[in-house]
Structure 1
């Protein structure tokens, strides 16, 4: 994808004027008189795959193999070490706002951003503007697995299973490949595919979903996985909140890493960025935190959040430019592996250390669809084309505490 955004970096003040005018003219994401149909409490399951076998494999690799992995996939393995506090996750989910695709803690809006997740993963080979899109003519699951694993069609075909509406391959079969594969490069790739399927997109427990392999098969073309990860995180939260229950199938480890980076004052654990090789995921994984706080207590804490309790700009966030919209859209479109959704970075400018102003959000609440929907292929093409026409804004740095204008 061409770097068409490079000559479309705009001034903060000009965007502020545009955003206020657009919001005033088009209206809000939620129409006037809107009545929320969300459940007062969402019963959300955070059931995860056991990652012990992945951890054991990683711990037994030599330095050369680990370096081979890190040079391609960045800090991905630190996700294996992040302890999942299910009570905290269930509490956080209660504050997800599908009307704006963000968390709303009282008067405070926050959301994981593309820039933040990119900084967390520290993946050296991705191009931030080269996005994944579900191909119209998708190669078969067998062909994708053959390409990733380097194993014969007969072996792959014999191990594919049907789980619900999706085809999958069991983790135990991928584990066998990792332990016995003679090709170090392929061994590393299968290990990374397993992390994507068991940790980042854990839809079918104990299995790697076909859609995950479609994304993974594009990573060697320097496609960024970040918008995909965000899309499925937001879509899963939306589904759970709208129905009042469900299982969260986004990456809970990344979500917790993001949360702790902004709410370390509550944890009473500070972050210190000491060098250019600093890894925020490593710090989150190795930092001891209380794990005896009940879900009810977390709900009370989050309901009473004050602006001064929040570290608005994560200490490890470095970019001076913010992707904030596309040419024909007032916000950002995210293509996932199972569907698409939008989000509005202008709602959370304080997370970039910039001054907050009124964001343009009209149409955001209605923009979400599944790849099972009729006509989804045309929509995918429209979104893919939109990524060729991105708009970025210069970050206007202000003091650590800012207030909306």
Structure 2
């Protein structure tokens, strides 16, 4: 995945000073005296599409088709297996803080971030800063569907339906196309479009909305869908909270997967998250969840949530640089498929394992708008331009995880209408999560307890019996264990040799020897070439303006001469009445002379017009060359980004091998030739990992 061309990474301390100064000058999203219009309780519907047919289609596909899908669209199919707990979701909505675009659980602020959703979707094709922007004069709905499905215009037109104020295509037509289309890639594309329309943006049940197809049509160009997914999630939560009711039309599966990642604490980050094929969404979908907790108990848990109850950094999230603002915005604006909104990543720095300080939030409550009317196009352009100048910061981990100034600000902050912590004897989390047993369950537990005691007694007797015969087999087992250990060591040595050879080839292929400074020099050289073309273009424009001025002067001179000819003609008419034939001939000679002068001026004027046309042609050619140069720079930037990503992947793999090398070196210490050869190979792997660290 690629970053934007104008990204800027700043130091954590500098960003903290800027954030606290900005908040002090501008204030918060809500000011003193604000009266919330939100209702005390929001009745939200989480009605979902029936996904059984999609599950059956996915189950019938072989591994080749599934790999093609993962390569182009990431881990979205695992959303089919995520169960939506409606009671938990309805409880979650009550704690959505519209003014700050975050969830506020007691003293805890949490918000889904772009980095977290990008890690969950895990799509290798997207470029993280190439966001979706609604096209003002894009192709028609039918043209987009023709491009996605590969079907004729007649087939597409007859299947488009009007659903309320939106145009859609029913799922049943897409299902039939997936089952019958001869092109495997088109089947994958239509299935991915269905996931986006029925799960990610489920506006009209059983249908895929026109706006969703516009976003999907851009995915093949590297556009990231994550800001649009977050935007519609936040906008739908806002709409339900403001109305006091409504149906949620964001991606409930992704939101619940994100929530579970922060709610259930895990002692250690699984080492497998560093493996290339590890999928956090797959693991979350396969994890069993309790579905017997009532909505009231969920609200009691969330209402009194404390810092120690939260897994601040999701176990599958590897912290990196933090995108905290775009352009002149003090936070990150998000463009959806039906509207736009903003959110403040600096509000949730602890989710990146970084120290929390006071974030700037002014303007968040007023930034939302829908794609309707005339003014929205200008605002969309402003946000798109802001994403060309993204700003990131380095994370800074320290204890305590929040500054004293933040703690004081958090206490004094004015929030929207959300449930506040229960000050009078809040129930513990264990009490809320404890199921209430029935009489039958009590009897069953007693029976199981007695059965367990009997089983333990029987096992104890069997162990005593078996212990008598174990002494005879101990020596045989020990010999067998040593033989297997030797074979395993030899297999590990062969595997390490193979990995070492692959790494050497990967290093040569990825160009690991090329430093980041050399990449920067190449980028600066391309920028210099673009500046030269822009300078030539400005010079051509200046010459064009000069010729235009000369043309205007020539035209004025022509008008003056025409007026002079008219005066002379009048004078000639008067002279004919009173002059002789000789005087008449003299006047005619003078007129002929003036006519000759006029013809010369006309020729000069035509020459100037030809020169102007030539300059306009030259100007168009220079414009075309400038666009070609800019496209070359973008392509070069994309190639460089891909190369750097390959370098980082190789570096990550080296770190993994270094860890494995440490484990093996401790496990198989030996003075034999085989052991020394293994130790030498392990030292080579460690040395390569040290060389690769600067590229991570």
Q: Distance in 2 between matches of 1:143 and 1:329?
A: 35
Native 8 Å contact 1:2 1:388 kept in 2: no
Of structures 1 and 2, the larger Rg is shown by 2
Confirm whether residue 379 of structure 1 aligns to residue 379 of structure 2: yes
* Matched residue, 2:663: none
Q: Distance in 1 between matches of 2:17 and 2:254?
A: 34
* Matched residue, 1:159: 159
1:272 corresponds to which of 270, 273, 288: 270
Q: Distance in 1 between matches of 2:267 and 2:17?
A: 38
* Matched residue, 1:59: 59
Change (3 A) 1:292 1:339: same
* Matched residue, 1:353: 353
* Matched residue, 1:209: 209
Q: Distance in 2 between matches of 1:242 and 1:363?
A: 18
Change (3 A) 1:163 1:75: same
Q: Distance in 2 between matches of 1:108 and 1:5?
A: 34
Q: Distance in 1 between matches of 2:163 and 2:271?
A: 43
Q: Distance in 2 between matches of 1:383 and 1:162?
A: 30
Q: Distance in 1 between matches of 2:94 and 2:253?
A: 17
Deviation at 1:313, TM superposition (A): 0.7
Deviation at 1:374, TM superposition (A): 3.7
Deviations 1:109-133 (A, max 9, x none): 1000000000000001000011100
Confirm whether residue 225 of structure 1 aligns to residue 225 of structure 2: yes
* Matched residue, 2:402: 403
Confirm whether residue 142 of structure 1 aligns to residue 142 of structure 2: yes
Deviations 1:289-334 (A, max 9, x none): 1101111110111111111000001111124101100221100000
* Matched residue, 2:334: 334
The alignment of Structure 1 onto Structure 2 pairs a total of residues equal to 401
* Matched residue, 2:250: 250
| Match runs of 1:24-173 below 5 Å | 24-173=24-173
Change (3 A) 1:397 1:5: farther
* Matched residue, 2:424: none
Higher relative CO (CA 8 A, sep ≥ 6), structure 1 or 2? 1
Native 8 Å contact 1:273 1:315 kept in 2: no
Q: Distance in 1 between matches of 2:13 and 2:30?
A: 26
* Matched residue, 2:365: 365
Q: Distance in 2 between matches of 1:241 and 1:392?
A: 31
Q: Distance in 2 between matches of 1:24 and 1:125?
A: 41
Confirm whether residue 237 of structure 1 aligns to residue 256 of structure 2: no
| Match runs of 1:269-348 below 5 Å | 272-274=270-272, 275-276=274-275, 277-348=277-348
Q: Distance in 2 between matches of 1:186 and 1:397?
A: 46
Flag structure 2 segments of 5+ consecutive residues without an equivalent: 405-696
Q: Distance in 1 between matches of 2:353 and 2:128?
A: 20
TM-score normalised to structure 2 length: 0.57
Q: Distance in 1 between matches of 2:288 and 2:268?
A: 11
Q: Per residue, is there more helix in 1 or in 2?
A: 2
Native 8 Å contact 2:100 2:364 kept in 1: yes
Change (3 A) 1:83 1:2: closer
Q: Distance in 2 between matches of 1:253 and 1:269?
A: 25
Deviation at 1:62, TM superposition (A): 0.8
Q: Per residue, is there more strand in 1 or in 2?
A: 1
